[in-house]
């Protein structure tokens, strides 16, 4: 079955960096675009970043543009989110997504 397993979350100070990973299985990974979403307490889940399947093109939410970078390794069925210059407002559960499927999420907390 399709599985998306996030890792790499944790507590980081403002201005710091984290790299999230998503391990995908149960489908032909290279055929699908992959995305990251996040959900802060009391807020709706929001789009963060996308990377396409074939062209490798990327798209980012305005709130993270210039700070976050999405990438993928099709030989390892992995998608990553490099997060730099983190802000307290980046605190959320981060989810890896494929069309029709979500990972379980990993907590990112940005606090002094």
R_g of the chain computed on alpha carbons: 13
Q: Are the C-beta atoms of 36 and 49 separated by less than 8 Å?
A: yes
Q: What is the per-residue pLDDT for 55?
A: 86
Q: Average pLDDT by consecutive 10-residue portion of the chain (112 residues)?
A: 98 98 97 98 97 94 98 96 98 97 98 95
Q: What is the per-residue pLDDT for 79?
A: 98
Q: What is the per-residue pLDDT for 53?
A: 93
Q: What is the per-residue pLDDT for 51?
A: 98
Q: Which of 8, 10, 17 is nearest to 80 (CA)?
A: 8
Q: What is the per-residue pLDDT for 22?
A: 98
Q: What is the per-residue pLDDT for 37?
A: 98
User: How many degrees, rounded to 5, is the angle at CA 7 between CA 24 and CA 2?
Assistant: 25
């Amino acid at each position: 079955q399709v599985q998306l397993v996030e890792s790499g979350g944790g507590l980081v100070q403002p201005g710091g960096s984290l790299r999230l990973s998503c391990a995908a299985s149960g489908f032909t990974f290279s055929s699908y675009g992959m995305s990251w979403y996040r959900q802060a307490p009391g807020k709706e889940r929001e789009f963060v970043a996308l990377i396409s399947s074939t062209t490798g093109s990327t798209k980012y939410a305005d709130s993270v543009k210039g700070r976050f970078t999405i990438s993928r390794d099709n030989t390892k069925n992995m998608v990553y989110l490099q997060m730099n210059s983190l802000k307290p407002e980046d605190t959320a559960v981060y989810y890896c997504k494929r069309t029709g499927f979500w990972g379980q999420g990993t907590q990112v907390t940005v606090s002094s």
